[in-house]
Amino acid sequence: MSVPRLIEILRARYEAASGARYLRIVDALEAAVRAGELQGGDRLPTHRALAEALGVDLTTVTRAYGAARERGLLDGAVGRGTFVRGAAAEADRGLVDLSMNIPPQPEGRSLRRLLAEGLSGVLGRADTATLMAYRPVGGGAAERAAVVQWLEPLLGRIAPERALVAPGAQAVLNALLVSVVRPGGALAVEPLTYPGLLSLARHLGIGLVPVEVDAEGVTPEALERVCAERRPQALYLTPTIQNPTTATMSVERREAVVRIAAAHGLAIIEDDAYGLLPESPLPPIARFAPERTWYVSTLSKCLSPGLRLAFAVAPDAAGAERLAAAMRAVTGMASPLASALILGWIRDGVAQDLLEGVRAEAGARRALAGDILPSATGPANGIHVWLDLPPAWDRFALVDAARARGLAPAPADAFAAAGAARNGVRLSLGAARDRESLSRALQALAATLKSAPAFAHVV
């Protein structure tokens, strides 16, 4: 691309951006790369030429190019200039990760800029000594009010006394298994379930009782049988975009599960990690049975795992205090700095805007996966898909073959509560740097599946 044309693109993007001047340049570069206006290998204008074109000083452009390199947007060589980073640069970094379930960078939003502005605002508003001090485990009144506001589209208006803030969903699940199920007890689960839950159960000596599933999740008949024969203390499930199978329970199925749980006095631990991703979310099980449901929601799957913040809603205020006491014994408080940042984002609408950006990018990536791997299952805005394998391939052979091509899918065995796992893999769509990288990875996987396996594992 010619330098004058490139300057024209960057000037238009720069004028549409907001914030500090150097960050506007970085955001302009990132937006142009995402839109395909800049391609790998395009040579950027000299610092001086771009400074003159944008009406900024030379230091601003130098700072912007440095920040863009930190984001992985640019490469440079002494004596040759600065270039848009090409696809080969990502391949040099190792595997394209299809195993880590994280949300993609939000479409059209600069998370880096929002973090810088948000933290600057927090430090400008709050007393530093308060931010660096201990806070009540579970959050104070302001934090709990933010939880209520954030979860209102799913749960309706709940009492703030039922809500808690925690340093990640794993902290909440640990506290729930200790206080609701207790070591030595039994927990009913889906046959394939969240690996973090599996690790906790093993660590705490809690027995897992798999419940048969169909395309919607656990079946009422199987749950009734497990409750009668095994008498678990609680049921753990992810009713919306189940991890890893992507199954989503209908409203009718949720109501049936609630009726069986009520008949057997069964507590429900609802892990709604993906509940906010659909454009039109279904009501959580906690909406139908608040008196017996311990509801868990995390920002790690809808905004970013780096925020390390999760929310919990107990059946009542007394239950919330018991849960807070269990968290106090093991994990303690959530970071006051992170809590203050998210509180401001929720109050000001930034968190909702970020969620919409994640939904948009997730939707585009899911459509891409559908075009390349039509047999993969998953909803429109999900951040992972499930792929049942053809008879010629077993999951172990596919993982080995995929790794030889620089890919890292997650086999079903990583999620198995007990016994032999289903012959399939979970493909996470959010960790790849951009859609181009994801497309190359999925095309390579599709090509692998069309070939004959070099060998098969005997299990």
| pLDDT band (50, 70, 90) for residue 453 | confident
**pLDDT value of position 5:** 85
Give the integer Cα–Cα distance in Å for 395 and 192.
15
Neighbours of 310 (CB within 10 A): 24
Neighbours of 408 (CB within 10 A): 18
Q: Is the pLDDT of residue 382 over 80?
A: yes
In the chain, the percentage of residues whose pLDDT exceeds 70 is 95
| pLDDT band (50, 70, 90) for residue 316 | very high
* Mean pLDDT for the chain overall: 91
Which domains can be identified in the chain, with CATH numbers?
Answer: 3-85 (1.10.10.10), 96-110+356-450 (3.90.1150.10), 134-348 (3.40.640.10)
| pLDDT band (50, 70, 90) for residue 455 | low
Per-position b or e across 350-369, b if 16+ CB within 10 A of its CB: bbeebbebbbbbbbbbbebb
Q: Is the pLDDT of residue 375 over 50?
A: yes
pLDDT in tens, 408-435: 899 999 999 988 789 999 999 999 989 9
Q: Is the pLDDT of residue 87 over 50?
A: no
**pLDDT value of position 78:** 47
**pLDDT value of position 89:** 43
**pLDDT value of position 454:** 61
Give the integer Cα–Cα distance in Å for 380 and 361.
11
DSSP 263-310: HTT-EEEEE-TTTTSSSSPPPPHHHH-TTTEEEEEESTTTT-GGG--E
pLDDT in tens, 175-230: 999 999 988 999 999 999 999 999 999 999 999 999 999 999 999 999 999 999 99
N residues, the chain: 459
* Contact partners, residue 370, CB within 8 Å, separation at least 6: 376
| pLDDT band (50, 70, 90) for residue 156 | very high
> Of the candidates 141, 72, 115, which has an alpha carbon nearest to the alpha carbon of residue 338?
115
In the chain, the percentage of residues whose pLDDT exceeds 90 is 73
**pLDDT value of position 406:** 85
* Contact partners, residue 9, CB within 8 Å, separation at least 6: 32, 37, 38
Q: Which of 256-260, 414-418, 451-455 has the highest mean pLDDT?
A: 256-260
Give the integer Cα–Cα distance in Å for 265 and 259.
10
The residue type at 22: Y
| Average pLDDT, integer, range 328-353 | 94
Predicted structure pTM score: 0.80
| Average pLDDT, integer, range 124-133 | 89
